[in-house]
Amino acid sequence: MTENLSNPNLTRERSFNRSSESAGAPLFTEADDQSLLEGVRLKDEKAMANLFDRYGGMVYSVALRVLKDPGNAEDVMQEVFFQVWQNPQAFVPRRGSLAAWLLVVTRNRAVDVLRRRKPSDSVDDVILPASDNIAVETERRTMMEKVRAALHRLSPEQQQSIELAFFEGLSHSEIAAQTGDPLGTVKTRIRSALLSVRRAFQP
Amino acid sequence: MTDNAHIPEETLALYALQALDQAESLVVRAHVAACAECRTELARTEGDLALVAMNTEQHPLPQGARERFLSRIGATSETEPATVISIGNKTPAMRTTAWPAWLAAAAMLLIAIGLGFEVHTLSRQLDATAQQLAEQTVESRHAHEVLDLLTAPAAQHVTLTTGKTPPAPAARAVYLASRGALVLEASNLKPLLPGKAYELWVIPANGAAPIPAGLFWPDTAGSASVVMPNIPAGVTAKALGVTVENDSGSATPTLPIVLAGATPAAGE
């Protein structure tokens, strides 16, 4: 289950964007995202289509990773982008990059579907650090390599905890029950694993 | 968990992962809403999660997905004005969505009159919409009361346990006497015999008879909750207790008390 986190070979050729668009294409900038979002606020369907083209593959892939069902994953993707269309003001630029926001919202919605529960938070609840400019400051492939390396360095137990919590959507008590580890240990592992990812981007 | 201190970083990580139970999540949400420091740390954690998500293997979109999406937004552009609709359940959003929906219902009525649509059909739709809106209003008010309870400085946080031998039944309650507001989240409860239910009691400090505060049944994992039961306001509680009663409820608690917890002295 933790193979995808630990085996860099499985992710070597991954691209943050659709392959047809990412090869040699300039990086998307936050300014681009903002101008497109402004268009969405004005109900410009072309602007929305551009956002969909830009991030659709990424959003769908995260939903598919969680749900493992293409139909359900597309439903989540459609719902996330439809939410952007209906309520673009839910994303506030100072919260960070649109890409990061979409990733987190998509993962949360996919887990809601997986657990067959009502949406457990509002998109308004998802906030990101203003400095977290996935779309601007760092080349995405480089970022992915850093993330991959950081995850690869985690202990197997940490990788399993992150896998179960992030992609399987299990609660900490469910993880503790499944792994046989104490609740406090599970909490600490998850926290330290996320910190390891964060430190990979700190100077 | 949050009375005066900040939320532990481990707990914030679990909150960001939606890995806390409902009651814990509500408490964290209420704290984060009022604490800039914890909000900043939560944002950092959400950023960490975005980085983890970035490592997801990329897959091509399903055939026709783009067209289906564009068709969907095209349909809404032609039929509706821009409205703010939340797919989540954050309390302020729920409060604000009711009014645009009412306006939409009114607009539907005017269109029906102007264009001579089948009035009886629209009437049924409006009735359904009105009913839905009424339910949303009730839910919104209810959620607002829950949030008020969780954020009230005077709210008492009570932990009810039977012992320390895991996995012991346990419950956590938040009680605000002045409003008669109460939320209880229980775990590891033993299964009940048919016809039986757990019943929560507020035990008044003035020696008056215990007040029934809701029946509840554990799920297969032994978890259960009582949210905002119908109890009188202004009852200063000495303790909260849980008993096993017939599933129709009881006017007085039947011993033994399976879970109990005293309210902190500093509370109401």
pLDDT tens digit string along B126-136? 666 666 666 66
pLDDT tens digit string along B10-24? 999 999 998 887 777
Chain A residue with minimum CA distance to B67: A49
pLDDT tens digit string along A132-184? 445 444 556 677 788 888 888 999 999 999 999 999 999 888 999 999 999 99
- Chain A residues closer than 8 Å to B69 by CB: 52, 56, 78, 81-82
pLDDT tens digit string along A98-122? 888 899 999 999 998 998 765 555 5
Q: Spell B129-155 as b/e; 16+ CB within 10 A means b.
A: beeebeeeeeebeebebbbebbbbeeb
Token couple for A16:
């943050």
Task: Judge whether B149 and B155 are in contact, CB under 8 Å.
Answer: yes
State the Cα–Cα distance between residues B29 and B18, nearest whole angstrom: 11
Task: Judge whether A93 and A30 are in contact, CB under 8 Å.
Answer: yes
Token couple for A153:
């360095």
Residue B200's H or E segment, with its range, is strand B196-204
Task: Say if the Cβ atoms of A78 and B61 lie within 8 Å.
Answer: no
Which of A125, A152, A195, A196 is the mutation pick for testing B, counting most B CBs within 10 A? A125
Higher-pLDDT residue of B133, B66: B66
Helix (H, G, I), strand (E, B) or coil at B144: helix
Task: Say if the Cβ atoms of B84 and A147 lie within 8 Å.
Answer: no
Using alpha carbons, list the distances in angstroms from residue B266 to A163, B34, B150, B151, B238: 42, 22, 17, 16, 11
pLDDT band at B239 (very low <50, low <70, confident <90, very high): confident
Q: In what order do the strands lie in the sheet with B224-227?
A: B211-216, B196-204, B237-246, B257-262, B156-161, B170-176, B181-187, B224-227
- Chain B residues closer than 8 Å to A159 by CB: none
Query: What is the average pLDDT across B220-243?
Result: 86
Q: How many CA atoms lie within 13 A of B165 on its CB side?
A: 1
Task: Say if the Cβ atoms of B48 and A198 lie within 8 Å.
Answer: yes
Report pLDDT for A148.
84
pLDDT band at B102 (very low <50, low <70, confident <90, very high): very low
* B170-176 and B196-204 strand pairing: unpaired
Report pLDDT for A117.
64
Q: What is the ipTM of this complex?
A: 0.77
Task: Say if the Cβ atoms of A166 and B52 lie within 8 Å.
Answer: yes
- Chain B residues closer than 8 Å to A15 by CB: 58
Whats the size of chain A, residue-wise?
203
Greatest C-alpha distance within chain B? 70
Query: What is the average pLDDT across B137-146?
Result: 66
Report pLDDT for A70.
95
Provide the whole-model pTM.
0.54
